[in-house]
Structure 1
Amino acid sequence: MKTILISGMGIAGPTLAYWLKAAGFAPTLVETAPRLRSGGYIVDFWGLGYDIAERMGLLDQIDHVGYRVREMRIVDDRGARIAGFRTRTFTELTGGRFITLARSDLSRLLFHTIKDKTETIFGDEIVGLRQNAEHVEVRFRQAGERRFDLLIGADGLHSAVRRLAFGPGSRFEKKLGYAFAAFEIDGYQPRDEDVYVIYGRPGQMLGRFTQRANRTLFLFFFTTGEGALPVEPVQQKAMLRERYRGAKWELPAILTELDQTEELYFDSVSQIRMENWSRGRVALAGDAAFCVSLLAGQGSALAMISAYVLAGELMRAGGRHDEAFTRYEALLRPFVSAKQRGAERLGGMFAPRTRWGLQFRNYVIKAFAIPGLARLAVGRDIIDNLSLPAYDWPTS
């Protein structure tokens, strides 16, 4: 039985472990954080990722924790609605298989499918690796050295496995000129149930989303220059206050809440572009291999798709990793590349850089009310142009 170490317990990692276990392999998961991550941001979930979740028996649980968003609403300085659209367009495009949920909730549900069947290691990380013809020798920061037949990096945009096996992240990261930040608080007012409210100025966007248990999520999205982003929370908060200085709507109250939060998610909006997703006995999945960025809105689903196909190809190849890794990449690269191109097109819709661009974006969104126009405008980016391979899972 082949032993396979998976770095990362976000979305791709647990999904991969589930399907590798179903195929008869012995996966082990390692996660740098001491526990499953909470907070972060919400994701729209549809397409083939939704199909894979169904095959894993998770749809009822996803429906329970998710949200059926009714409207995306853009407001002005006074909070008055100036544009927006009902989300039924996306529901129609996806045949009703569309839901919004916290990324951390999806990660938790995926983890629970494997937690009692798979070795999991929290609070440790891979700090070194060495390959030979028979195995991969991995050195953990805490647990010393171990050997595995294969190593899969499912550890996100800033993948440590990618850095160790392929080189510095700067070789593969394509910054798209934006950054984003997110945090949650309790008891914020007002609340707009099942409505995503957006306020914008040139080069800036702020979204507010009402969650259950009296929670509210805020998402900042803004243009950046060429310099590096701050890494310390104090500096990150200072950057947000500076960038949103003078903004109206609810910004003064939201920035006050920002000062109090201890959990701020802050990162660049980037893509990962690599010539190969594998090297020897090491392969990458999800954002570690091909991050499409927040702009695509499908990062979680794509992570699940890559995990499913990678596990399936390893099973189909009888564990012959060179054959499986080649087939995995051949199947998914054209699909992923199209999603990356689509994400780049959408940047201006999130945070147009000029006042005229804001007005034009709002006119386009208003026009979504015209039957068929939304399908024409975004249909190619919503509908997944890929058929999942039919794998004969022995124990699924």
Structure 2
Amino acid sequence: MTKRTALVSGAGIAGVTLAYWLTRGGWQTTLVERAGDLRSSGNPVDVRGPALSVAERMGILPELRAVATHAKAIRVLDSTGRSVARIPMSSRNGDIEVLRGDLARVLWSAGRDDAELLLDDTITDLRQDPDGADVTFERAAPRRFDLVVGADGLHSTVRRIVFGPEREFSEYLGLYVATVQLGGAPAEPDEVVLLNVPGRLLALHPARGEAGAAFIFRHPEIPGLERGDAGRQKQVITASYQGIGWRVPELLDRLEAADDLYFDAVSRISLDSWSRGRVVLLGDAASCVSLLGDGSTLAMAGADRLAAALAETPADLGAALRRYESGHRRLTGPKHRHIHRAAGLLVPASRFGLAARNNIARYVLGR
């Protein structure tokens, strides 16, 4: 029999995990990635719940534990830098926190010999019929596939081509997020430090011995800012954090000098259906909503569920895609419904909200 062929757009957490399971299910799998390499941002992410089972079956749990971050607690500070609470980060049920780049590297190492990889390329057109999908690339020659998966993130190219413009599915949640590696050893080697003032959060993370910073802040939407140049993004961040004391001026200077800034809007992606014909969306392309580091868990779980659904009914693609979606929405649905509450706890908009959140941290969670 001729092997079924799948094209996965996006070699991030969702795409690489899916490629691993598809190849083991008998699919001839191709990954296409716009970037010229597989480096990923260094943001800390969680592997927990259903993703732990996926990692265990892939045989990568020991490697993930070996590259886990050093953080053992969260230290909450007030606007002056005074400690409000220390919240232990005890691992529940074996949960693992790793840098996103380390997770991507370990996942790719597990299946790199099985899938074809097209780097520095992207899909420019896609046309499908009942028997397959014809794909045009920016660089590679056109090809035909049995299945196309859009695992290409919040600003998905596959979603735009097949489902419509991003504005039809994306809701700006009032926050921007920027992360940057600071270089050098962290001041607190085993603590995540959170400094909040109304509408703004600065988080310092020890990672694995090299400090990183995250700026998460409320701001009126500036259309296209997330796709703009880094200089403009740095201006908006600096203006938003002016007047805050503690180490903020120093960290803004280091931000200005950095050349590896990650910047994006915090958005919620909502679609009535994640598939059309032989095209299906996965990860943030289908249901971006993560704000607290669990997007990678959802990505791994979704990829595993999609591969399993395809294996269960190999002769009925439509049924498989519907089964994947109905099952995975049980995980993403609660995240969608509670995202505003999560944002309110992470970045309270008012002094009253901040005081209430700090009291919860001090008397309920911390010590």
Match of 1:13 among 15, 20, 24: 15
**TM-score of the aligned structures, taking structure 2 as reference length:** 0.95
Compared CA separation, residues 362 and 258, structure 1 to 2 (3 A): same
**TM-score of the aligned structures, taking structure 1 as reference length:** 0.88
Amino acid at match of 1:120: L
Correspondences of 1:173-188 after superposition (within 5 Å): 173-187=170-184
Match of 2:253 among 244, 252, 256: 256
Tell me if the contact between 1:40 and 1:265 (Cα under 8 Å) persists in the aligned partners.
no
User: Percent of counterpart pairs with the same letter?
Assistant: 39
The alpha-carbon deviation at position 334 of structure 1 amounts to 2.9
Amino acid at match of 1:243: S
Counterpart-to-counterpart distance in 1, 2:37 and 2:266: 25
Equivalence for 1:194: 190
Equivalence for 1:223: 218
Equivalence for 1:119: 116
Amino acid at match of 1:35: D
Counterpart-to-counterpart distance in 2, 1:48 and 1:301: 7
Tell me if the contact between 1:39 and 1:184 (Cα under 8 Å) persists in the aligned partners.
no
Match of 1:343 among 333, 339, 342: 339
Match of 1:309 among 290, 305, 312: 305
Equivalence for 1:366: 362
In structure 1, runs of 5+ residues without a counterpart are: 372-396
Counterpart-to-counterpart distance in 1, 2:108 and 2:331: 26
Compared CA separation, residues 102 and 242, structure 1 to 2 (3 A): same
Tell me if the contact between 1:68 and 1:99 (Cα under 8 Å) persists in the aligned partners.
no
1:318 match: secondary structure: coil
Q: Deviations over 1:3-58 (max 9, x none)?
A: 00000011010110111111111111010000012334111221111111111011
Amino acid at match of 2:187: R
The alpha-carbon deviation at position 326 of structure 1 amounts to 1.1
1:192 match: secondary structure: coil
Deviates more, 1:219-228 or 1:241-250: 219-228
Match of 1:60 among 52, 59, 62: 62
Equivalence for 1:144: 141
Counterpart-to-counterpart distance in 1, 2:105 and 2:364: 34
Equivalence for 2:29: 27
The alpha-carbon deviation at position 108 of structure 1 amounts to 1.1
The alpha-carbon deviation at position 335 of structure 1 amounts to 2.6
Tell me if the contact between 1:85 and 1:368 (Cα under 8 Å) persists in the aligned partners.
no
Match of 1:42 among 44, 47, 58: 44
1:275 match: secondary structure: coil
Equivalence for 1:266: 263
Tell me if the contact between 2:70 and 2:189 (Cα under 8 Å) persists in the aligned partners.
no
Deviates more, 1:70-79 or 1:19-28: 70-79
Q: Deviations over 1:279-325 (max 9, x none)?
A: 00000111111112324x31101111111111111111015211111
Match of 1:356 among 339, 352, 356: 352
Q: Deviations over 1:237-262 (max 9, x none)?
A: 00111000111111111011011110
Tell me if the contact between 1:202 and 1:354 (Cα under 8 Å) persists in the aligned partners.
yes
Amino acid at match of 2:39: R
Aligned length, in residue pairs: 363
Deviates more, 1:333-342 or 1:11-20: 333-342
Equivalence for 1:75: 77
Counterpart-to-counterpart distance in 2, 1:292 and 1:351: 16
Query: Structure 1 stretches (4+) deviating beyond 2 angstroms?
Result: 37-40, 76-80, 367-371
Amino acid at match of 2:49: G
Equivalence for 1:384: none
Amino acid at match of 2:121: D
The alpha-carbon deviation at position 163 of structure 1 amounts to 0.5
The alpha-carbon deviation at position 107 of structure 1 amounts to 0.9
Compared CA separation, residues 150 and 197, structure 1 to 2 (3 A): same
Q: Deviations over 1:328-371 (max 9, x none)?
A: 11212233111222332211111111112111110011123489
Counterpart-to-counterpart distance in 2, 1:250 and 1:73: 15
2:153 match: secondary structure: coil
Deviates more, 1:61-70 or 1:119-128: 61-70
1:326 aligns with 2:322: yes
